[in-house]
Amino acid sequence: MAGALTIARRELAGYFATPVAYVFIVIFLVMSGTLTFTLGNFFDRGTADLQPFFGFVPWLFLFLVPALTMRLWAEERRLGTIELLLTLPVTQWQAVLGKFLAAWLFCGIALALTFPLVLTVNYLGRPDNGVIATGYIGCLLVAGAYLSIGAAISALTKNQVVAFVLAVAVCFLFAASGSPVVTDFLSRRIPVMAEIARGISVTERLGDLSRGIVALRDLIFFGTFIGFWLFANTLAVDHRKAD
Amino acid sequence: MSALIEIDRLTKRFGTFTAVDNVSFQVARGEVLGFLGPNGAGKSTTMKMLAGFVTPSAGAARICGEDVVARPVEAKRQLGYLPEGAPTYPEMTVQSFLGFVARIRGYRGGEERERVAHAMRLTTLEGVRLQPIETLSKGFKRRVGLAQALLHDPPVLVLDEPTDGLDPNQKHEVRRLIGQMAPSKAIIISTHILEEVSAICTRAIIIARGRLLADATPAELARRGPSLDAVFRELTLSQEAP
């Protein structure tokens, strides 16, 4: 674990040593804020909660998280530092976990910086802060799910553009599979598939959490989801590291 | 005692191409082995397998008795490895990069600082310790890679072209450093500079097309022909024709 944490620390410092961190955070804050107040009808709804915000975050992460993960392994392979990293006394699993943890913590920092929204609803009304807290946990879990997908795909290619596009596509699959458009279409034609589509949907799980419902099965879903993709990531690193 | 580096019938195939073909040798403490061969002969692939980065198709490599495939972390603890091209993280400063490597290797606090300072002293990097690595010249970058490999004072050093891109003074400095460390370590350096082999190596191995062609002291090799240069050319070129 110490090895993974050391790698995570280096990675996180790396984000802030390059413009990546600042661009990501600024764009995320501007877009999440703007969308919440404009498209989300924050004021007109007349309810003191952050439902519109939690509705937009997964779609913002859909594009921003792959932008974060596209360089995770692709950059190491391009610079050749993967050879350095994997010949240090750490296992591949520790390296995978360290990189994932750093990216996840970074998303956590970006989410935490949306705190003015929480202050605003508390100033304007009396929201249920418990629901807001579970909504944030949900957003963090969605970020983790997307990160694990993006990191695994980044390990498969040296090309960052390919890594980005593929990660967005795969994340979109898991984001859209729970949307009414998809499930309505499927339940009219192939009802079995509709159930499966809802079952693997990341946004469907966030829906529960942003309403304040913390179900064990949702947590297990995210845990298994992230675990699966990290495992795939380790296999991809092992298979493609020296190519 | 047994050799610190054991390479036993090591083979690597990429599809139908055999990059390293049934190579075996051992390196004992106190030896500096020069690994010679034309470009694409399989030098780097052999070193990558020894460092546990490339998985062998067949055969085994052991560092201090630890198999690099079966017990990778234990083997890598005993190894200082400079990969080809000396890759480093460009945005990090020299000091933070070496600190990272020290922490990965399990050093903390005062010991970590001591290790980093010692490695910088050996490779004369103190003057640039707070500079981002990307702003350094090629020679300095190579020395950062070398410092990283020496940091934990490993019994086994594997250096892929350690003097490539250095100016004559820096080359001399690195050779002096390797000579100084030689008695207590088993060292492999790959190079295609032949005078380097005569200058610092106690033994030389020549490989071409993945096969081991010669394993002798530089002096013995040189005696086989008019010069080491001529022997190298004869051995490696005769292999080119199928």
Helices (H), chain B: 43-50, 72-77, 94-104, 109-122, 138-150, 168-181, 194-200, 218-223, 228-240
The answer, yes or no, to whether residue A73 has pLDDT greater than 50, is yes
| CB-closest option in A3, A81, A90 to B89 | A81
**Mind listing the pLDDT tens digit for each residue in B87-109?**
999 999 999 999 999 999 999 99
pLDDT at B239 over 60: no
List the single residue in A with minimal CA-CA distance to B81: A87
Q: Cα separations (Å) of A81 from A85, B141, B178?
A: 6, 13, 24
Q: How far apart are CA B27 and CA B31, in angstroms?
A: 6
Question: What does the alpha-carbon distance between residue A28 and residue A143 come to, in Å, rounded to a whole number?
Answer: 13
Assess whether pLDDT exceeds 60 at residue A94: yes
Query: How close is the nearest chain B Cα to the Cα of A163, in Å?
Result: 21
CB contact under 8 A, B92 and A17: yes
The nearest alpha carbon in chain B to A76 belongs to B89
Q: How far is CA B146 from CA B104, B178, B238, in A?
A: 16, 11, 35
Residue A53 in tokens: 């915000």
CB contact under 8 A, A83 and B72: no
Mean pLDDT of A180-207: 80
pLDDT at A187: 80
Residue B124 CB contacts under 8 Å (≥ 6 apart), including other chains:
B143, B173
- Partner residue facing A10 (CB), from B74, B100, B105: B100
Per-state percent for chain B, helix, strand, coil, to nearest 5: 40, 25, 30
Query: In the predicted model, what is the mean pLDDT of residues A95-99?
Result: 95
Residue B132 is classified by DSSP as B
> Is the pLDDT at A78 greater than 70, yes or no?
yes
Rounded to a whole number of angstroms, the distance between the first and last alpha carbons of chain A is 27
Q: What is the pLDDT of residue A42?
A: 77
The closest of A86, A66, A65, A68 to A76, measured between CA atoms, is A86
Instruction: Tell me whether A216 touches chain B (CB under 8 Å).
Output: no
Residue B240 confidence class, pLDDT cut points 50, 70, 90: low
Contact criterion met (CB < 8 Å) for B76 and A242: no
Measured CA distances, B205 to A60, A87, B43, B46, B161 (Å): 57, 24, 10, 12, 15
**pLDDT beyond 70 at B241:** no
SS3 content of chain A, % helix, strand, coil (to 5): 80, 0, 20
More confident residue, A49 or B56: B56
Instruction: Output the six-digit token pair for A130.
Output: 């418990």
Any chain B CB within 8 A of the CB of A87? yes
Backbone φ/ψ region at B15: left (φ over 0), alpha (ψ -120 to 50), beta: left
Q: Kindly state the helix (H) or strand (E) to which residue B186 belongs, with its residue range.
A: strand B186-191
Q: Quick: pLDDT tens for B144-182.
A: 999 999 999 999 999 999 888 788 888 888 889 899 889
What's the pTM?
0.90
CA dist list (Å): B189 to A30, B160, B232 = 53, 6, 17
Q: Which residues of B touch A3 (CB under 8 A)?
A: 104
Using CA atoms, how far apart are residues A21 and A235, in angstroms rounded to an integer? Answer: 28
Do the Cβ atoms of B52 and A87 come within 8 Å?
yes
Do B53 and A241 count as a contact with CB atoms less than 8 A apart? yes
Considering only CB atoms, A87 lies closest to which of B51, B88, B100, namely B51
**Picking from A35-39, A43-47, B191-195, which range would have the lowest pLDDT averaged per residue?**
A43-47
Q: Which of A41-50, A101-110, B88-97 has the lowest mean pLDDT?
A: A41-50
Q: How much is the mean pLDDT over chain A?
A: 89
